């Protein structure tokens, strides 16, 4: 036997021996999303849209159109600079030091395949692989989250394509399944299994606007693709539908869980609440998870109680809270929101109490993953930045510590 073959065999054996499975249901997921890195969102990194800052209406509204406007060579160069600097090994080390165990990494379908006419650029997979190595070095687990589908699955810029929902039309389901197959066949291999503990078939499909039967079939088929590739767990979004609606799809024993995202700022009814009404909503969240017969992880949530983060509702769009978004009323000013360095100690304490109430609720599930690890400063978005919230004493470190024991009573 050649020495190279012997070495490869020994390496595979060594990796397999070191594999430490993440036991969903026994081990709590406590993690953070790496938003705005391998899938762009203008509100997280508005500097990438800086050339249109003085005239937002002329700017592209999402990654698809950013690359379309810039052209592939310029877009490739700008995104490579961003990928090289936005997340590094140091971020993973800090995440671990803050008491977390998981990172969820959003990545679009276009990182793995480009469809005819796509203006997107590629190169993200090399950074995903690098991140898995960083996670291993830091002692963290990884969720791979396929965050965008062909045609756009929700109309949000986080799908890569804003204001369009073309997923499940034409050949798009098969195209997404082909991507899932590629991801599963690679990251279910033995050399990744100690780190990549779950693959999520698609982030936030807009269930109320999609054909339920097609969405259900796609989710089942996506699970099958991953299951045939190996033992990695499978995650799927609740798709903005009641958790109980998914109870007939797959048994919990199939190593599958539901990813529920829970925010309190994306409707006028929510931003119109008083602080204590927002707090009570956070406390009552634990009752929302009882309808599921599977493990549930709150895969996205934040510390925000307003939608004042600049461009949060989309590039060039205002906020519901101050009445600058569409036809919403005004409930206050955004000028003093989302900047942790300008908060009084009372304001920090209030936000800490709100965060702790959410944590206590989400700990009743199989775990939680905060959105997001960091945002660019000066954008009224500190209440979305885990790293900034920890630095200002608003997010508990470690996450089990409490300044307000049993805030919900």
Residue 121 vs residues 28, 150, 161, 178: alpha-carbon distances, Å:
36, 14, 14, 19
Read off the tokens for 33.
């999303």
Angle (CA) 305 310 313, round 5°: 75
Q: Which residues of 209-241 are buried (b: 16+ CB within 10 A; e: fewer)?
A: ebeeeebbebbebbbbbbbebbebbbbbbbbeb
What whole-number distance in Å separates Cα of residue 9 and Cα of residue 3? 10
End-to-end CA distance of the chain: 66
For residue 221, give every residue at least 6 positions away whose Cβ sits within 8 Å of its Cβ, in sequence order, or none: 173, 177
Residue 257 has φ and ψ, to the nearest 5°, of: -140, 160
- How does DSSP classify residue 62? S
For every residue of 390-409, DSSP letters joined together read: HHTT-S-SSTT--SSSSTT-
Of 215, 360, 391, 350, residue with least CA distance to 298: 360
What whole-number distance in Å separates Cα of residue 381 and Cα of residue 358? 18
For every residue of 83-123, DSSP letters joined together read: HHHHS-HHHHHHHHHTT--EEEEEEEGGGT---TT------
Decide if 151 contacts 167 (C-beta within 8 A).
yes
Residues 41, 63, 204, 288: which is the catalytic one? 204
Of 43, 274, 60, residue with least CA distance to 158: 43
Q: Catalytic annotation on 300? A: yes
Query: What is the chain's alpha carbon radius of gyration, rounded to the nearest angstrom?
Result: 21
Q: Catalytic annotation on 288? A: no
Residues 63, 200, 300, 356: which is the catalytic one? 300
Residues with a catalytic annotation lie at: 204, 300
């Amino acid at each position: 036997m050649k020495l190279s073959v012997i070495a490869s065999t020994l390496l595979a054996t060594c990796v397999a021996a070191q594999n430490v499975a993440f036991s969903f249901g026994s081990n709590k997921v406590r993690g953070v999303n790496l938003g705005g890195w391998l899938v762009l969102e203008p509100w997280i990194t508005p500097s990438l849209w800086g050339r249109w800052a003085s005239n937002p209406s002329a700017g592209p509204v999402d990654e698809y159109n950013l690359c379309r406007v810039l052209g592939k060579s310029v877009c490739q160069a700008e995104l490579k600079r961003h990928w090289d600097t936005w997340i590094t090994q140091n971020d993973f080390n800090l995440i671990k030091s803050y008491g977390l165990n998981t990172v969820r990494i959003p990545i679009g379908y276009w990182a793995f395949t480009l469809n005819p006419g796509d203006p997107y650029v590629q190169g993200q997979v090399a950074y995903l692989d690098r991140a898995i190595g960083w996670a291993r070095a830091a002692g963290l687990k990884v969720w791979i989250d396929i965050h965008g589908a062909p045609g756009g699955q929700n109309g949000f810029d986080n799908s890569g394509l804003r204001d369009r929902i073309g997923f499940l039309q034409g050949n798009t389901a098969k195209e997404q399944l082909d991507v899932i197959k590629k991801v599963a066949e690679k990251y279910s291999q033995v050399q990744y299994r100690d780190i990549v503990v779950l693959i999520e078939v698609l982030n936030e499909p807009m269930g109320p606007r999609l054909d339920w039967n097609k969405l259900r079939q796609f989710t089942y088929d996506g699970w099958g693709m991953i299951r045939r590739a190996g033992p990695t767990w499978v995650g799927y979004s609740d798709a903005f539908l009641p958790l109980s609606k998914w109870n007939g799809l797959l048994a919990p024993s199939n190593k599958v869980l539901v990813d529920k995202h829970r925010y309190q700022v994306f409707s006028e009814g929510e931003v119109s609440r008083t602080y204590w009404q927002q707090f009570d909503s956070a406390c009552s969240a634990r009752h929302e998870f009882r309808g599921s017969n599977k493990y549930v992880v709150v895969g996205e949530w934040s510390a925000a109680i307003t939608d004042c983060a600049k461009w949060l509702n989309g590039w060039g769009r205002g906020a519901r809270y101050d009445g600058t978004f569409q036809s919403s009323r005004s409930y206050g000013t955004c000028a003093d929101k989302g900047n942790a360095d300008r908060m009084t100690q009372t304001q920090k304490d209030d936000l800490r109490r709100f965060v702790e109430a959410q944590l206590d609720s989400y700990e009743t599930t199989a775990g939680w993953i905060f959105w997001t690890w960091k945002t660019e400063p000066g954008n009224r978005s500190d209440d979305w930045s885990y790293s900034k919230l920890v630095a200002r004493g608003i997010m508990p470190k470690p996450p089990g510590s409490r300044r307000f024991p049993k805030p919900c009573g």
